[in-house]
Amino acid sequence: MQASPLAHHFENLEKQAHAARLGMWLFLATEILLFTVLFAAYALYRFLFPEAFALSSRALETWVGFVNTIVLVTSSLTVATGLHSATRGDGRKTALWFGISVLLAVVFLVLKAYEYNHHFHTGQLPGRFYTYEGVKAPGAPMYFTLYFLITGLHAIHVIVGMTVLVVIGALARKGRYTAAYHVPVELGALYWHLVDLIWIFVFPLIYLI
Amino acid sequence: MKPSPLPSDDVAAYAPRNYLNAPATGLMSWLNTRDHKRIGVMFLIATTIAFAVGGLFAMLIRLELLTPGPTVMDPMTYNRMFTLHGVVMIFLFMIPVIPSGFGNFLVPLMIGAKDVAFPKLNLLSFYLYLIGAVVALAGMIWGGADTGWTFYTPYSTDTITKVTPILLGAFILGFSSILTGLNFIVTTHTMRAPGMGWMRMPLFVWSIYATSIIQILATPVLGMTLLLVVVDRAFHLGVFDPTWGGDPVLFQHFFWFYSHPAVYIMVLPAMAVISEVVCTFSHKNIFGYKAVAYSSLGIAFVGFFTWGHHLFTSGQSAFDAGIFGILSMFVGIFTAIKVFNWTATLYKGSISFKTPFAYFVGFLFFLVFGGMTGVALATVSLDVHWHDTYFVVAHFHFIMVGAVMMAFLAALHYWFPKITGRTYPEGWGLVAAVMIILGFNFTFIPQFLLGNMGMPRRYYSYSERFQALNVASTAGASVLAIGLTIILVYLLVSLRYGRVAGSNPWLSRGFEWDTPSPPPPENYPVTPVIEHGPHDYDGENITLPPHQHAPEPEPHAS
Amino acid sequence: MAEPVAHDEHAATHRSHMPVYLGVWVALLVLTVVTYAVAKVHLPGAWAVAVALLIASLKGALVALFFMHLWDQRGANRLVFLTSLVFVALLIGLVIADNATRFPLANPPGTRGALPAEGSVREPPAANVQQRNRP
């Protein structure tokens, strides 16, 4: 562990923390714009194929999406609680709460995998691989293309977020962060909340409308 | 006006401990550096190499177009050449060169900081640039692509040429660009020296800041879009394929949502350079500081509302075309604000007509000419005639090559003493500048005429009646190439044999000249306190730091 | 001098956030149940979308403001977040405006007013598939 977390080119820790937060928010903005491409494609094709999208959406198992939303929202709470422990300088509790969050993320991914598996069996697949008998309207293959792209990209972000939580949780356990300096915990939590934030929009778009 | 003579060939005597020799000089100390100045210099070298490669492709294209039929290559090679010319020039040269190269070197110096906010990310950005360049280059060597740099679907998802590595290369380069932008925004917000409020920031920093906003907001959209094309190529899911209900025009929307603002990623930094050059060489405050500063943000913002003017003939609705046509013209307002302010700055200034100033004059001409034709092209009815002809080619080369290359060369000459500690030969500089400006006009003015006559762009062969103007264009391009080669030669010679510059050879009042040239690794021994705006030539509150007082330090006894 | 570093950011860490976190969590759960229930009712098209997006925006705002602390952090961070949302709206809005006002035949086959989709959706002409599978 270094003597001080203050980098040579900053005047003080407060300024450094401010810079780190701003940098993280800018990064989150790029993430939002990254997802925007898929959301815009979704919006356009939903506009062009309203019936196919409504029918395909109803062909999904809504309860999986519902449970996953609850799981992710709860994991956001546990991450926030972990950050709260970090502000008190309690690294072990931070690690514990982050660990719980990672477990919730695993639940999320398991449910997602169950769902993907189901789609493979029923033929609810993207583009030219689409063989599902339930919905035959033009546009249905496009729905599943976007379904897999959006949930797939989101799942990648869940995995990245889990990795971040594991690393920061482990460092917190080692006592790397203090009540005065715990910016990395804060940034990791921010990333996780963004993953949650995006899912909050994915859930209604994919499952409900 | 002339600085007193300095030791003729020993930079070390003038600036004994500078970023070039401290903390170490080995190759590893460069590859593993966190110093923004070294990263900036590495970016400059890499982008200049890319410029040479892209220029080589350009010369081959012009050579092929010398005659209407086959000249030196077959049609497929020609298609690959213009694709690679576009990809290399845009993604590898113009987008990174000024922000990542000069911006990295200068922004911290100009705001009185020791470094950028995230030095490690800065180095990562450089390596991402290298990796992206290598991946794209691998695609080129492996066979290249024939889609044009715009990768329009459905052709790009179907062509058998090697589009995928080039797309992935551009994707990686995008992240390099994002990291640089992120770094500059945070640096500008948090690292300014005490006393430097937003309204005391050099205009260079304002423009780079506006550029960074575009990089942050637009680049992810391009990245995701290119990934979608890669996925489509691999699995044929048909996101943009009508067979599966996809809309190819959606790709164009996504692509230009990035790529139109990307024009401002290239032009805003050019304007940044020009704002500095015009002050220094007319020894005068900028006219209307606030207007110039805010118009940078205005261009960045309005630049996002104009992407649809690339889709006028693609099947976009008349409603959208109308909106985008009108909004596109607003860019002209902000650009005009800048042009008028730069021109007004010259008024009653004491102008020293050095090489950077020559490029400023060229820049102004090319920007106005290119901008005016741009406004004409934003008119939907006119665009239908000119779209996909050489008129468009000439228009965007006036902005992107004319204006941006002028600014690049101005920056190269203006800050050459700052970066290397040596000066270049002024006479040769002016000769090359004249050749380049004339050569450029001879290259592209014929293309305006060709386009207006109806010669389509991207074609391998053309009808006989276009030949005379094509020959003129190729001849102009040759003069341009010779001019650039002259610059390369004398700058390389000056690196070793140039006269030692001293800290402030231009007698500029820009903040970056407050340090010795080349600057020490930590930029400023003590964090400076800023007490006046940039380029404060009015004399009321001039407080020159001690080492900036002319004459320069006496030569050390040898 | 940088703009004043928000001092309440720092002060905020001394106040307990836990009650706020729990409150937000409960609100998020309730809203999730509500949106799920509303979807089961099958409101007419446009309303279903409007209600679902409204609830999602409400939930998103809660996460951004309280979990992500935009409520305590003023200035630049908020601006960054809001700016990104403006550009999200810009891209989606103008893209849909294009297809909505387009000459209908210029829209992809199978959409209203455009050409019918070629044959069965699942099996486009064999030649077409082959062509697209070219190496």
Rounded CA separation B124/B101 (Å): 14
Chain A contact for B13, CB < 8 A?
Answer: no
Is residue B47 within 8 A of residue B88, CB to CB? The reply is no
Average pLDDT over residues B16-26: 85
User: What's the fold here for domain A13-208?
Assistant: Four Helix Bundle (Hemerythrin (Met), subunit A) (1.20.120)
Task: Give me the residues of A, 78-137, that contact B with CB < 8 A.
Answer: 126-128
pLDDT at C122: 44
Q: Do B247 and C107 touch (CB under 8 A)?
A: yes
C122–chain A nearest CA distance, Å: 6
* Residues of chain C neighbouring A197 (CB-CB closer than 8 A): 60, 63-64, 68
- What is the DSSP annotation of C51-91? HHHHHHHHHHHHIIIIIS-TTT--THHHHHHHHHHHHHHHH
A100–chain B nearest CA distance, Å: 31
Rounded CA separation A40/C92 (Å): 5
Task: Give me the residues of B, 434-463, that contact C with CB < 8 A.
Answer: none
| Pick among B188, B247, B297 to test the C interface (most C CBs inside 10 A) | B247
Phi-psi region of C113 (alpha: psi -120 to 50; beta: other; left: phi over 0): left
pLDDT tens digits, one per residue of B429-466? 999 999 999 999 999 999 999 999 999 999 999 999 99
pLDDT at A144: 94
Closest chain C residue to A142 measured between Cα atoms?
A: C121
Closest to C99 (Cβ–Cβ): which among A22, A39, A47? Answer: A47
Rounded CA separation A140/A152 (Å): 18
Chain B contact for C131, CB < 8 A?
Answer: yes
SS3 B251: helix
pLDDT at C132: 44
Chain C contact for B162, CB < 8 A?
Answer: no
Chain B contact for A197, CB < 8 A?
Answer: no
Query: Does residue B546 register a pLDDT over 60?
Result: no
* Residues of chain A neighbouring B114 (CB-CB closer than 8 A): 8-9
SS3 B389: strand
* Residues of chain A neighbouring B122 (CB-CB closer than 8 A): none
Query: Does residue B18 register a pLDDT over 80?
Result: yes
Phi-psi region of A156 (alpha: psi -120 to 50; beta: other; left: phi over 0): alpha
Rounded CA separation B78/B84 (Å): 10
Query: Does residue A114 register a pLDDT over 60?
Result: yes
A54–chain B nearest CA distance, Å: 16
Is residue B502 within 8 A of residue B170, CB to CB? The reply is no
Cα angle: A185, vertex C1, B529; to 5 degrees: 130
* Residues of chain C neighbouring B246 (CB-CB closer than 8 A): 108
Average pLDDT over residues B336-346: 95
Query: Does residue B367 register a pLDDT over 80?
Result: yes
* Residues of chain A neighbouring B178 (CB-CB closer than 8 A): 30
pLDDT tens digits, one per residue of A119-160? 999 999 888 888 888 888 888 999 999 999 999 999 999 999
Query: Does residue B26 register a pLDDT over 90?
Result: no
Top pLDDT among B46 and C7 is at B46
Label residue A13 by pLDDT band (50, 70, 90): confident
Question: Domains in chain B, please, with CATH?
Answer: 31-549 (1.20.210.10)
CB atoms within 10 A of CB B388: 14
Closest chain B residue to C82 measured between Cα atoms?
A: B217
Average pLDDT over residues B519-533: 87
Single out the residue of C48, B544, B190, B231 nearest to residue A24, CA to CA.
B190
The parts of chain C modelled with pLDDT lower than 50 are 1-13, 120-135
The ranges assigned to domains in chain A are 13-208
Mean pLDDT (chain A) is 93
Chain B contact for C97, CB < 8 A?
Answer: yes
Average pLDDT over residues B28-56: 95
Single out the residue of B253, B252, B260 nearest to residue B147, CA to CA.
B252
pLDDT at C15: 63
Lowest-pLDDT choice from A96-105, B387-396, B523-532: B523-532
Chain A contact for C62, CB < 8 A?
Answer: no
Closest chain C residue to A182 measured between Cα atoms?
A: C13
Closest to C29 (Cβ–Cβ): which among A26, A73, A196? Answer: A73
pLDDT at B540: 45
Mean pLDDT (chain B) is 90
Looking at this predicted complex, what is its ipTM?
A: 0.93
pLDDT at B87: 94
pLDDT at B375: 93
Chain A contact for C34, CB < 8 A?
Answer: no
Rounded CA separation B112/B524 (Å): 7
pLDDT at B243: 84
Rounded CA separation B478/B63 (Å): 9
Give the pTM.
Answer: 0.92
Average pLDDT over residues B493-512: 88
Closest chain B residue to A42 measured between Cα atoms?
A: B239
- Greatest C-alpha distance within chain A: 65
Average pLDDT over residues B29-33: 92
* Residues of chain B neighbouring C108 (CB-CB closer than 8 A): 242, 245-247
| Alpha-carbon torsion (B520, B526, B527, B528), positive or negative | negative
At B422, give phi and psi (nearest 5°): -125, 160
| Pick among B184, B226, B237 to test the A interface (most A CBs inside 10 A) | B237
Closest chain C residue to A87 measured between Cα atoms?
A: C13
Cα angle: B161, vertex B163, B164; to 5 degrees: 125
Rounded CA separation C60/A44 (Å): 22
* Residues of chain B neighbouring C133 (CB-CB closer than 8 A): 236
Supply the DSSP symbol for B146: -
pLDDT at B249: 94
Residue B443 to residues A187, B149, B211, B388, B437: CA-CA distances in angstroms? 52, 21, 29, 18, 10
pLDDT at B539: 57
Chain B contact for C46, CB < 8 A?
Answer: no
Chain B contact for A43, CB < 8 A?
Answer: no
Contacts of residue A1, Cβ cutoff 8 Å, sequence gap at least 6: A174, A175, A176
Is residue A173 within 8 A of residue A92, CB to CB? The reply is yes
B232-236's contacts with Cβ under 8 Å and 24+ in sequence apart are B232/B153, B232/B157, B233/B156, B233/B157, B233/B163, B233/B164, B234/B164, B235/A126, B235/A127, B236/A127, B236/A128, B236/B157, B236/C132, B236/C133
First to last CA, chain A: 51
Single out the residue of B30, B39, B207, B187 nearest to residue B118, CA to CA.
B187
| Pick among A27, A37, A38 to test the B interface (most B CBs inside 10 A) | A37
Closest chain B residue to A28 measured between Cα atoms?
A: B216
Question: A with C: how many residue pairs have Cβ under 8 Å apart?
Answer: 157
